[in-house]
Amino acid sequence: MSLLLALVALGLLMGAAFHTSTTVLVAAALAIAAWLGAFGVREGLARRKQH
C-alpha cells in the first residue's frame, strides 16, 4: 500500500514539474539538493560527536 502511495505522490510531483518552467524546476531542485546536503552534514557532525 505504501508503494502505491509513493507512486501516486511521484506521479503528482512529476505532473506538477511538467507544468512549470525549466528555470523554476531547476531552482527548486537546487534548493532541495542544498537542504539535503546541509541535513547530511549536520547529521554527520552529530554522529561524530556521539562516538
What is the per-residue pLDDT across 6-26, written as a single tens digit (0 to 9) for each? 999 888 888 887 888 889 889
**Range with the largest mean pLDDT of 5-9, 24-28, 36-40, 45-49:** 36-40
Residue 4 has pLDDT above 80, yes or no: yes
The verdict on residue 16 lying in a domain is no
The verdict on residue 25 lying in a domain is yes
Cβ(17)–Cβ(25) below 8 Å: yes
The verdict on residue 9 lying in a domain is no
- pLDDT at site 43: 93
Query: What is the span of the domain harbouring residue 40?
Result: 21-51
The verdict on residue 4 lying in a domain is no
Rounded distance between C-alpha atoms, residue 33 and residue 5, angstroms: 23
Q: How many domains does the chain have?
A: 1
Cβ(42)–Cβ(50) below 8 Å: no
Provide, rounded to the nearest whole percent, the portion of the chain with pLDDT above 70: 100
The verdict on residue 51 lying in a domain is yes
DSSP 6-35: HHHHHHHHHHHHHTS-HHHHHHHHHHHHHH
Place of cell 562516538: 51
User: Which cell numbers hold the place of 15?
Assistant: 505532473
The verdict on residue 3 lying in a domain is no
